[in-house]
Amino acid sequence: MLCPYCRTGETKVIDSRASEDYIIRRRRECLNQRCGRRFTTYEEIEEVPLKVIKKDGTRVPFDRKKIQAGLEKACYKRPVSAGTIDLIINQVEADVHREFDREVPSRYIGERVFNLLREIDQVAFVRFASVYREFKDVNDFVEELTPMIREARSRKEGTGSRSGDELEPRKP
Ligand SMILES: [Zn+2]
């Protein structure tokens, strides 16, 4: 950019750092030797952070960590690696950015996580549903997915394949 003082000299960036969220602070120096002034510019990234539309219409920032926390609880002691959990979140995030511009309904995120997890681990899938139902305030998208959870549960119970220690019926 041109120096705003002499309006002739090109400037170079001598320092660059992110100051606040989405704002980059740059220290610049005029290359015109008769000027040579230093000044600071602030660059704001125009992209608006993705917001999640909750069931009640309120908006909250999209947060990978919330999805990750839920998935980790669901996959506790299950044969699902941290790498796989990362892949699920990456896939969900990529889908969201492809399908939506600035706002995504919470329902969409929930459905994507559920569909991906169902293909990977049935037990983790059912647990994920339970985890989010317990912590509605964390992400209440699950509320909207309750019918889907019930469907998955009844399908599971219907198969009679209750094998594995995780699903062993409790002794009286
Ligand atoms: Zn200058």
Pairing of strands 23-30, 38-44: antiparallel
The Cβ of residue 37 has, within 10 Å, a number of other Cβ atoms equal to 14
pLDDT of residue 1: 86
Same domain assignment for residues 39 and 57: no
Which phi-psi region, left, alpha or beta, contains residue 80 (left: φ > 0; alpha: ψ -120 to 50)?
Answer: beta
* Residue numbers of the domain that contains 28: 11-44
Ligand 1 centroid, distance to 20 Cα (angstroms): 27
* CA–CA distance, 128 with 85 (Å, rounded to integer): 12
pLDDT of residue 168: 44
In a domain, 106, yes or no: yes
Ligand 1 centroid, distance to 6 Cα (angstroms): 4
Same domain assignment for residues 95 and 113: yes
pLDDT of residue 6: 93
Ligand 1 centroid, distance to 33 Cα (angstroms): 8
Q: How many domains would you assign to the chain?
A: 2
Segment-wise mean pLDDT, segments of 10 residues, the chain, 172 residues? 89 83 86 93 76 89 87 86 90 90 87 86 80 51 55 58 44 49
Same domain assignment for residues 38 and 75: no
pLDDT of residue 21: 67
Ligand 1 centroid, distance to 40 Cα (angstroms): 13
Same domain assignment for residues 35 and 79: no
Ligand 1 centroid, distance to 13 Cα (angstroms): 13
pLDDT of residue 156: 58
Same domain assignment for residues 105 and 24: no
pLDDT of residue 160: 44
